[in-house]
Structure 1
Amino acid sequence: MNRIALPSLDGPPGDRLEIVSAWNPETPYQLWRPQILVPATFRPAAAPRTFVVVNQKGGAGKTTTAVELAAAWAAAGYRVRVIDADHQEAALSVWLLPQYPNEGPRHSLRSVFFDECSLAEATYPTLFEGIDIVPSGVDLARVEYERPIGAEQGLAAALADEAKAGTPAYDVTVIDAAPSLGLVTVAALSASDEALVPVKVGGLDMKGMASLHKTIRSVQRKTNPKLRVGSVLLTAWDKSDFARQLASKVSEDYPEAAVIPIRRSVRASEAPLAEQPVRLYAPKSTASGDYDQAARVILPGRAAA
């Protein structure tokens, strides 16, 4: 199978966001620009690493964030696996189509939860070089109501079994969690090293952060003490006082996290229909550049690391 190589993005410096260690609240509105906040408490990740992209509210740009960060890391030379843990839409599996073999069973994340196969057996290549996928469909909902034994730790156990086998097959695993705080989402949080939280710049998303914050703290306390919130990505960002207030609020809630604006882009909404990452479909768009920069902040390239 001929796979498509994902391009590097080397845009002019003027297209890049400024990185700061603190925001200046006295900056006049007319001079205010989107900036990436990287506080002194922030620690960049190192491979191998498992990330979960999570927000209990739909429409926050969760799947786009998962796809674009995966594509950026693949373009940087990392071996990336994405896991579709969202049974409500399975949007990740529709966007990054798994390339199934002509013969044999077709497994999914549901198969892993019910011990029908290993995580490796449920992993398939995509059309894009460096990215493989564990797909899902509506049948993943069975995990929520049948509740197989040990489901909350099922994904963590599957990753641990792989690690026991020796050198990890992937440098980066990105889990796209459902827009709910159900059993599969808790399993994803329990299996991850780091949570990446996309938040759409809007009042309802700000209110929903409180429930997510409570769930993350509960998982840290009960099942996964190593979990940390690594970054908050402000999606559909545009220049407004509310965007500034939201950025300040999340930086207070997660003082160890980078806060990264992703500017509003029509091209980003078109990419799923083209079944391509934004960096391939519209490499000159602001969203493509912003996600590329976010990926470098969260997990630096091998040379930078």
Structure 2
Amino acid sequence: METVRLGLVGIGKIARDQHLPAIAANPDFTLAATASRHGSVEGVTGYHDIAEMAAACPLDAVSLCTPPGGRYEQALTAIEAGLHVMLEKPPAATLSHVAALEAAARRANVTLFATWHSREAAGVAPARAWLSDKKINAVRIDWREDIRRWHPGQEWILAAGGFGVFDPGINALSIATQILPEELFVEHATMDVPAGRASPLAASIAMRCGEAPVRVEFDFLQTGPQTWSIEVDTDAGTLSLAMGGSVLTLPGEEQRTEPDREYARLYARFAELIATGQSDVDVRPMRLVSDAFLLAERRTTDSFSF
């Protein structure tokens, strides 16, 4: 496959922290242009928006790192220009938008890749393999982090369509849907929404995986050490994934820890999909978020400011 000429849309924190290093390290891609209202990359031609970039610069693909609210229009612009598209998580603001993009990509014969970076954490694949023949007795998911540390000043995340605490929480759900041998179903949820905001800062969700209860706790106000853990009780003991899936502990075995290569693996997968003419669009994590919002009891809490 020839080197893919890539446009990167949205030059914010996640693009700088993760996407730019992964692109630079992957010989299958050349960063040919960027599109951003506020950011730029030294030595790379920058444009105001994706339409201007697609019209002015020869590209093969784009990677979208913008908030989910405007993702549908941006992705559709790229698809209609004949470009392959990689979407940051969550892939769009609604499930209907994702379905429409998937249909548009099929019509245009281009690749659409809805990414879930946490599935590429080092412990996820071996956890899935170990759980494949186990009886699941109970699951506990705790995803607690500091919004001011990871999303400083990002007002959009608490607005309508911003997902709130489900923006990081969907990472946990992406892992759970990948490793558990049966489907997850939401039974009940509560959400704590700050006064004057549209999206929650905390949530508790009761789910089922087959006959096994699944308890989920999301919190966006945890300071100090951050918690990203999943524990699965089975007939063969308890499996533990910590640090967002990068640290795996199996019953009777030593803890396994490997370096973070999540985004490197995502771009390797994107290159593979383009080369083979395939798409990869799994909406199960987003469907669980949608179900939680539909079923949740919403509680108004004190106002919040960054």
Query: By percentage of residues, which structure has more helix?
Result: 1
Query: By percentage of residues, which structure has more strand?
Result: 2
What band does the TM-score fall into relative to the shorter chain?
A: under 0.3
Higher relative contact order (CA 8 A, sep 6+): 1
TM-score (norm 1): 0.27
Bigger Rg, structure 1 or 2: 2
